[in-house]
Structures are given as C-alpha cells and as structure tokens.
Structure 1
Amino acid sequence: MAIPYQPSLPQQIQLARIEQILQQPNIPQTTLATIYYDRGLLHDSLGLRDLARLDFNNSLKLNPNQPDLFNVSGVIFTQMGMFDSAYESFDSTLDLAPDHPYAHRNRGIALYYGERYELANDDLLPHYQQDINDPYRVIWLYINDLKLVPQQAQTLLQQRYAASDKKDWGWQIVRMYLGEVSEEQFLTDIAEQSKDNEQLALRLTEGYFYLAQRYQQQQDYPTAIMLYKLALSGNVYEFIEHRLSLLELNRIFTVEQNATPVETASPTA
C-alpha cells in the first residue's frame, strides 16, 4: 500500500499567493481568467471538485476561448455522470482546438459511459492510431470493444499489443489482460519496481482500477468494489482512474439498488 497523497507545501503556498493576487484592484480580465483557471486546477488536484468548477465557470465568463478548460470541465462532468454536459464541453474543446491531444480520448470515454459504444469507437480508434505505442489508448479501446464487439475484443487487444514497442509500464496492464501475467505477479511487480512512494501510488491507482474493470466485466461486483476503493485510497485525484473509480462505484451501487426487490407490508386482516 502506498502512503496516500497529501496536499504539498508548494500547492498550499500557491493557493495563498493566488488569494493575495485576487485582493489586488484592477486586474486585467484576461489575467483574472488565467488566475481562476490556475486555482481551479489546484482545487481539482486536491479533490475539491465543486470549488474547481466554480473557478472554471468564473474563468470561462471572463474568457470563453479556453480549450484546455473545456476539456477539464468535460472530464469532471464525466466523473459526475453528466454525460450530455461532458459531450458539449469536449465538443467546445475540439471546436477551439481540433488537434487537442486528449479531447478525443476523453470524449470517447464519456461516450463509453453514456453507452454510445460506436461513437466512442469513432473517437478512441483514431486517437489510438495517432500513437500505437501508448498502452492506455489500447486499453480504452479494449474496454469499449468488450461492449461493441465482445467476441473480437481479445483478438484485437492481442494484435495491438503485438504492433506496439511494449516499452511503457502500462503495457503490463495489457499483459495482465492477455493472461501473460497473473494478477498476483502484476501487483507484486508494481510493489517491487516502483522507485518511491509517489510512483507506487500512481501505479497502484491505475493497477487497482484496471483490475476492477476485469472483475466488473465478470460481474464479480464485491471484488470490483473493493478494488475501486483501493484505487481511491492513494488520493491521486488528477488521474482519470481515480475519477472514474468514483463513477464506477456509483454505477454499481445504482445497479444493485435497482436489482433489490422492494419489500411490501403484508396485508392486514
């Protein structure tokens, strides 16, 4: 287990400095928009989502031409299950910056959670083709393929793995999905090969999330819930895997509640 992330001294100092700057009069509108955006990113990195959204909204009112801000807002909307708002945010990002490096992936993930698997593929596949050596692009294509073309998903994953350079650590997740590495060995390697607590926390957040995905696909919800909670335990708020663990837990609990029959009172004589 990694020691959970804690607010760092530089983060706290930066927040204090921003508060001081905001007390100054006659700040130019474009500068104020940047300040709100920077503070929103800080709040988001500390898990303060509502404060982040407030800052982002203030920033957008002052300067609506901010593709990165729309992208971050879309990720937060996805985490909250507000998919239509997420799609609109990512569309705005791509309208302003058609070559944005993450908006297609993030919109594809939002479409996946919105159960629009063909549209998700339309975003995730070109995104993968731009860099076939990025394991996370392969992983998200595979997760979507399990819904879109379940009988072909494993074969496609194997083909994309074979075509890659296999250098990034994330390919270990793909090897685990392909059965080349056991789950026990997968977690042992993370513990033994992480150079410090920070790297351990990052890799465990990813590892637990993608393991949970496997168990969720198998409808082993108790194990999936445990793993999603472990993915949250490192406090790596900025990672998409941390954000989506919250979403997945809410989805599982909703399914379980809907599947539980409602008890009715017995009629009285």
Structure 2
Amino acid sequence: MVALLAGCSSSQPQWAQPPMAVPFQPTIQEQIQLARIDQLLRRNDLSDDTLAQMYYERGLLHDSLGLRDLARLDFNQSLSFKPDQPDVFNILGVYFTQSAHFDAAYEAFDSSLELNIHHPFAQRNRGIALYYGGRYDLAFEDLNAHYQQNINDPYRVIWLYLVELEQDPVKAQEKLRLRYDNSDKQDWGWQIVRWYLNDITETQFLNQIALDSEDNALLAERLTEAYFYMGKLYFHNKDYGTALMLYKLALAGNVYEFVEHRFALLELSRLQAAINEQQQFDAVLDVNSESEAAQ
C-alpha cells in the first residue's frame, strides 16, 4: 500500500503535526472479566440461554480489544444457542461490511430488523453497508429515515451527506447547510459538519479538539472521528496521499468500538483500489501520448 502511494502527489494539509492521543490499551477490568467468562464457559450445567449470553458478552469483550476474529466466532456460537438475537445479527452485519461482504451484511441487518424493527443501529448500519456497496438510492432511504428520528444527531447528518455527495455534490452541500441550520448544534460532532461546510479551517478544527478534550480517552475518541471524516472528504476529492495519512491516524487511537475505526480499514482497501485504477489510467494516457509523439 505504501509502495503504491509513494509516488502519489497530494496537497499539503494546513497542519504539520496533527494532535495524537495515547492509544487505548486493554484494562485490568477487561482482562479479569474475560478470564471469568472463560472459567464460566467450562461449566457443563449452563442453559442454552445462559451460554448464548456468555458467548455474546465474551464476543463484545473481544471486539472492544480489537480481537475481531475471536469476537465473530463468539457471536456465531451465541447464535447457535439462541438464534433470535437482533444485537448479534447487527454486529455481524458490521463485520461483513468491514470485509466488503455486502450481500451477507444486508441479510444480517435484515434479520436484525425483522427481530426488532426499532433496533437503534441496524437501519443506520444497513444504510452504511448499502453506501459502501454502491447502492446509493437504497442507502439514502435508510439513512434519511434514521436521520428523521433525530435531526440533532450530527453523525446521522454526516452519513446522509456522504451518500448525497456521491449523487449530487452541489445539492449535498446545500442540504448539509440546511440540516445544520435546523439542528440544535449541541453535540461536538457538529464541528465536523462545520468543517465540511468550510465554516472553520482544519487548524481551528483540530486545535479545538485538542483544547476541549478533558482527558486522553475523550481526545482519542474525538480524533478517531475527526480523522476518519476528514479522510472521507480528501478521498472524495482524490487527494489519496492525505486520505491515507488520515485513515492511519483514525486507526492510531485503537478506539475499536467506534464505527469510524471499524471502517477505516475498509477505506484503506477502497483507497488502494482507487490508486490502482488511477495508475492504470495514467499508464494508458502515457502510452497514447507516446504514440501521438511518434506519429
């Protein structure tokens, strides 16, 4: 990946040394809880419902520690004991999205919503999966419905904007401004929207995060979100070198449970594909130029 990008030109960002947080590390409490669940699962007197819950809880712990293959095994094991768990189908759908298995992701989110039509995240996550699968009209339906449930949530606005950006960038910007004006602007995530709207500069945006974060945990969480959504815009503008750096920074805090961390690796894969396509296009142009010069 680095070799592919070595020759890529990119515009210089407005900041030289981006703020960083100390990466999240496993806590003693998480490790103790994991050991306790492992001990309980050795018992042979547990009911299927209890086993399903224990595997689910261990899966969540593995997920929070970034051990996603182990987490996925636990979630599948949980479903084998109790197949009607919308939360498990939802997180498996996220995993399928991360690995670009979009049809499997759609099925998982559909199962989650069939079991709980009011699931708080399944519709949003299905919309995100549809967005990554290039099905923008369907993604808009899910994400717009999710936005209507809470117009003061900046992240619902941001994902809706990212879908509309692929359809009509001018109208997307106009709608983003309208949704921002109609919001209460209370959540810190509206600062991301303000940056998208060019109301603040990158330097102001990142400096504000560094100054307003009360501790390292909050700093790591906000930087994960900020760098991911900044990377999205640079990627859309085909500034691949800067997008690469930003996605790496989004991963640097080890905030494994945030969707921004989850999808940063998927974005790197998409970035690699875009660069391969650009290099092939440039190679064709070079060949045509040489042919014209020879004539």
> Within 2, Cα distance between the matches of 1:62 and 1:257?
44
Q: CA deviation at 1:245?
A: 0.6
Q: Do 2:63 and 2:256's aligned partners in 1 also have CA atoms closer than 8 Å?
A: yes
Indicate which of 89, 99, 103 corresponds to 1:80.
99
> Within 1, Cα distance between the matches of 2:182 and 2:165?
20
Structure 2: give runs of 5+ residues left out of the alignment: 1-19, 284-295
**Aligned match of 1:136:** 155
> Within 1, Cα distance between the matches of 2:81 and 2:110?
20
The 3 A distance-change label for structure 1 pair 261 and 115 is closer
**Aligned match of 1:27:** 46
> Within 2, Cα distance between the matches of 1:153 and 1:39?
41
> Within 2, Cα distance between the matches of 1:258 and 1:22?
49
Q: Do 2:251 and 2:261's aligned partners in 1 also have CA atoms closer than 8 Å?
A: yes
| Cα deviation 1:78-111 (Å, max 9, x = unaligned) | 1111111110000000000001111111000000
Q: Which amino acid aligns with 2:57?
A: D
Q: Which moved more, 1:74-83 or 1:152-161?
A: 74-83
**Aligned match of 2:33:** 14
**Aligned match of 2:166:** 147
Indicate which of 24, 27, 45 corresponds to 1:5.
24
Whose relative contact order is higher, 1 or 2, with alpha carbons under 8 Å and at least 6 apart? 2
Q: CA deviation at 1:210?
A: 0.7
Calculate the aligned-residue CA RMSD, in Å.
Answer: 1.2
2:242 matches 1:242? no
> Within 1, Cα distance between the matches of 2:261 and 2:250?
6
Q: Percent identity?
A: 60
Instruction: Tell me the TM-score normalised to structure 1 length.
Output: 0.96
**Aligned match of 1:194:** 213
2:236 matches 1:208? no
Other structure's SS at 1:98 match: coil
Structure 1: give runs of 5+ residues left out of the alignment: 264-269
Q: Which amino acid aligns with 1:247?
A: L
> Within 1, Cα distance between the matches of 2:135 and 2:74?
30
Q: CA deviation at 1:27?
A: 1.0
> Within 2, Cα distance between the matches of 1:7 and 1:223?
30
| Cα deviation 1:140-182 (Å, max 9, x = unaligned) | 0000000123220000000000000000000000001001110
Q: CA deviation at 1:258?
A: 4.1
